[in-house]
Amino acid sequence: MNSRRRFIYTAGLAVAGLAAGGIPALAAPRPRAHTVQAGDTLSEIAARYDVSLAELKRRNGLRNDVIRPGQRLTLPESDALAAVVAATAELRIQRGRWRHVVVHHSAIEDGNAAAYDSAHRRRGMENGLAYHFVIGNGRDSPEGGIEIGPRWLRQLDGGHVRNATFNATGIGICLVGNFETRRPSEKQLATLTALIDWLRADAPLGARPKFTVHRWVDRNHTVCPGRYFPSVRLRLRYA
């Protein structure tokens, strides 16, 4: 298999509610565990956190549905994130290397990881797709799905900013869309925050990467990820 063309598609995330005024709400961080209360059943807990009963049991090594008050259950990652977690577990990651998460928009509504990979190669980038992850908008890849780029699978520097330090230490995440003309969708934001939450708290990086966006790194050169992307809200969330 040609690893250069290897992209992993994952399913989208469950959708959080709309905030007042129709602005997409940022999904609250998903709890990582649930302590069983008297009267809880396993199927109710699975429904409450929108996870499958089978996955909840698998994750906790349960052979049947019997649970007891006070028992602590680990909750599975979101569906969109599951493939990223699995792929990353196979990688050797240099501890402390990834110190930033840099968010981009693609500035066009078409495309996916494969299309941007071709475009970046045509522009002379020998490692192709400049980002580590691409989050789809439902047009050429699933809305809110994550595509894992070869640069993440091979742990290569990104090529997503003009700054060599940030390319060497920044995880590049691109959301498909032009956020100079519209907001990212709720599903895209839910997946993005799930991915960043995981990268900051649970991924085996040996460091907690800081959140930033392209235009804060390449000042005066770009509007990326666009005026309708909630850059400031996310900076506050990850402060």
Structure tokens at 205: 């990086």
Cα 229 to Cα 204: distance, rounded to the nearest angstrom: 28
Least distance CB 74 / Zn ion (angstroms):
35
Q: Which is nearer to Zn ion, 30 or 151 (CB)?
A: 151
Least distance CB 77 / Zn ion (angstroms):
26
Secondary structure (3-state) at 210: strand
Secondary structure (3-state) at 15: coil
Least distance CB 141 / Zn ion (angstroms):
18
CA 71 to the chain's CA centroid? 30
Q: Which is nearer to Zn ion, 171 or 224 (CB)?
A: 224
Q: Which is nearer to Zn ion, 43 or 163 (CB)?
A: 163
Angle (CA) 177 179 182, round 5°: 95
Pairing of strands 100-105, 33-35: unpaired
Least distance CB 52 / Zn ion (angstroms):
35
Q: Which is nearer to Zn ion, 196 or 224 (CB)?
A: 224
Q: For the packed helices 186-201 and 79-89, what is the interaxial angle rounded to 10 degrees?
A: 30
Least distance CB 80 / Zn ion (angstroms):
21
The one-letter amino acid code at 70 reads G
Residues near Zn ion, by CB under 5 A = 104, 214, 224
CB atoms inside a 10 Å sphere around CB 159: 18
Local structure of residue 8 (DSSP, 8 states): B
Least distance CB 120 / Zn ion (angstroms):
12
Q: Which is nearer to Zn ion, 148 or 224 (CB)?
A: 224
Paired with 102 in beta bridges are 172, 212
Q: Which is nearer to Zn ion, 113 or 224 (CB)?
A: 224
